[in-house]
């Protein structure tokens, strides 16, 4: 997508130096646009853990590049090389426990590297190619999600006689959460580009305000009409007919249809159900978990530092500053995700098309995943 007139992905290899991976550091957005260089797997792990990069697809792509950087710096002997890469994979997977794309990218890299023969140079080549392929595929899958999902917006637009389609979204499942295009936002961008009137209600998404900071910023840069709301407001808007559809992303989707996404998604799904509003989840297949069956019982939910709840950063006098919101002695809890049961999800929007959030629906689109 374009930033101030220039096309960017969220992660890329430095043009004249393949030893350097570049990212947009998302922490100072929307106030400052900062590009950061990463040269080691530890740089990448820290960037994921401390959320310089975040979002299902992007942390998968970052993990892919992280494995490539690990390969570049690994010992040359075959056994030690393999050991170093396994350790790098564990480090990357441990950064964010709920996100399934990390494990997926690491396993894909380990398979690619193992398949490249014994020569370390060939292994590094293979890791580079796999990292690029993961990133390219993420961008391409998001593009297709937009192509499939736009039909839902077109239908509502027709029903409303061309009046703006009101989409509510939670967190940032935009191009900043992936390599390009985004998932939840992809159908919105396609619709907007085709001249369909849209308006996005952007949940601010406490505690880290990915909506107020990132979704609002990227929609604004692309000229998409939007309004920032507090996370508390969605139910009221739905009760009063001000929301036509909800689209969110997901950090892990079970093949049974249960969806782990940013904390608070479940509340919006309940409100959508209570008001007869369709609730869609958009995802590339890299976000599917093909093992677990019961989301609430089985998906591990990351708990983060209480400081993310007790303090918040924003712009003041041209600089980003943090302020304390609570009494200093009050404890705070910080659960990063919640699980929306499949029964509340109208459908999943994937790179292969739209399907019901059920085992039959998902396996219908991904028949190769059917148990033998």
Residue 298 C-beta: closest distance to a second copy, Å: 12
Q: Among the candidate windows 20-28, 102-110, 176-184, 310-318, which touches a second copy by CB under 8 A?
A: 310-318
Q: Which is nearer to a second copy, 138 or 218 (CB)?
A: 218
Q: Is 322 in the site for a second copy (CB under 8 A)?
A: yes
Query: Looking up tokens 């997977």, which residue turns up?
Result: 93
Closest by Cα among 150, 47, 98, 267 to 11 = 47
DSSP category for residue 207: T
- One residue of 34, 35, 80, 315 binding a second copy per CB under 8 A: 315
Closest by Cα among 236, 231, 235 to 215 = 231
Separation between Cα atoms, residue 182 and residue 282, nearest integer Å: 9
Residue 353 C-beta: closest distance to a second copy, Å: 29
- Decide if 350 contacts 285 (C-beta within 8 A): yes
Residue 251 C-beta: closest distance to a second copy, Å: 13
Q: What are the residues whose beta carbons fall under 8 Å from the beta carbon of 277, sequence distance 6 or more? A: 238, 243, 244, 245, 246, 271
Residues in the interface with a second copy (CB under 8 A) total 65
Residues 331-360 interacting with a second copy (rule: CB under 8 A): 331-335, 337-339
Separation between Cα atoms, residue 349 and residue 42, nearest integer Å: 34
Q: Which is nearer to a second copy, 100 or 202 (CB)?
A: 202
DSSP category for residue 325: -
CA 168 to chain centre: 16
Q: Is 94 in the site for a second copy (CB under 8 A)?
A: no
Active site (annotated) includes residue 251: yes
Residue 160 C-beta: closest distance to a second copy, Å: 20
- One residue of 55, 60, 66, 234 binding a second copy per CB under 8 A: 234
Q: Is 237 in the site for a second copy (CB under 8 A)?
A: yes
Check whether the bond before 207 is cis (ω within 30° of 0): yes
- Choice among 43, 251, 258, 338 that is catalytic: 251
φ, ψ at 185 (rounded to 5°) = -85, -20
Separation between Cα atoms, residue 302 and residue 101, nearest integer Å: 15
Q: Is 202 in the site for a second copy (CB under 8 A)?
A: yes
Residue 165 C-beta: closest distance to a second copy, Å: 17
- One residue of 40, 151, 311, 358 binding a second copy per CB under 8 A: 311
Q: Which is nearer to a second copy, 143 or 310 (CB)?
A: 310
Q: Is 213 in the site for a second copy (CB under 8 A)?
A: yes
Take residue 289 and report the two structure tokens written for it.
């978990």
Q: Is 312 in the site for a second copy (CB under 8 A)?
A: yes
Closest by Cα among 140, 116, 9 to 62 = 9
Within a 10 A sphere around the Cβ of 30, how many other Cβ atoms? 17
φ, ψ at 227 (rounded to 5°) = -140, 130
Q: List the catalytic residues.
A: 251
Residues that bind a second copy (CB under 8 A): 30-31, 201-202, 204-207, 209, 212-213, 216-217, 219-220, 226-237, 239-240, 262-264, 266-268, 270-271, 274, 296, 301, 309-316, 321-327, 329-335, 337-339
């Amino acid at each position: 997508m374009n930033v101030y007139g220039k096309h960017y992905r969220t992660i890329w290899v430095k043009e004249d130096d393949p030893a350097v991976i570049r990212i947009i550091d998302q922490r100072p957005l929307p106030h400052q646009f900062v590009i950061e260089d990463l040269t080691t797997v530890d740089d990448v792990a820290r960037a994921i853990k401390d959320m310089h990069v975040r979002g299902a697809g992007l942390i998968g792509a970052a993990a892919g590049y992280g494995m490539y950087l690990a390969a570049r710096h690994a010992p040359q002997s075959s056994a030690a090389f393999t050991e170093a890469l396994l350790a790098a994979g564990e480090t990357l997977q441990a950064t964010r426990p709920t996100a399934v794309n990390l494990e997926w990218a690491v396993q894909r890299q380990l398979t690619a590297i193992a398949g490249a023969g014994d020569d370390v140079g060939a292994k590094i080549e293979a890791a580079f190619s796999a990292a690029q392929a993961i990133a390219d595929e993420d961008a391409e899958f998001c593009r297709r999600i937009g192509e499939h999902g736009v039909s839902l917006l077109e239908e509502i637009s027709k029903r409303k006689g061309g009046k703006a389609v009101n989409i509510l979204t939670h967190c940032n499942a935009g191009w900043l959460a992936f390599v390009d295009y985004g998932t939840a936002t992809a159908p919105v961008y396609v619709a907007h580009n085709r001249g369909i009137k849209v308006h996005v209600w952007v949940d601010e998404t406490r505690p880290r305000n990915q909506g107020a900071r990132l979704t609002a910023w990227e929609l604004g840069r692309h000229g998409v009409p939007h309004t920032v709301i507090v996370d508390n407001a969605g139910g009221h808007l739905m009760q009063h007919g001000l929301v036509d559809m909800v689209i969110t992303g997901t950090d892990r989707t079970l093949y049974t249809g249960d969806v782990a996404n940013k904390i608070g998604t479940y509340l919006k799904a309940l409100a959508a159900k209570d008001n007869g509003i369709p609730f869609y989840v958009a995802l590339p297949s890299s976000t599917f978990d093909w093992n677990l069956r019961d989301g609430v019982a089985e998906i591990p939910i990351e708990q983060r530092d209480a400081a993310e709840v007790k303090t918040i950063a924003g712009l003041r006098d041209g600089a980003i500053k943090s302020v304390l919101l609570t009494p200093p002695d009050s404890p705070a809890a910080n659960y990063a995700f919640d699980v929306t049961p499949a029964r509340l999800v109208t459908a999943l929007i994937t790179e292969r098309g739209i399907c019901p959030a059920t085992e039959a629906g998902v396996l219908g689109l991904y028949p190769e995943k059917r148990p033998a």
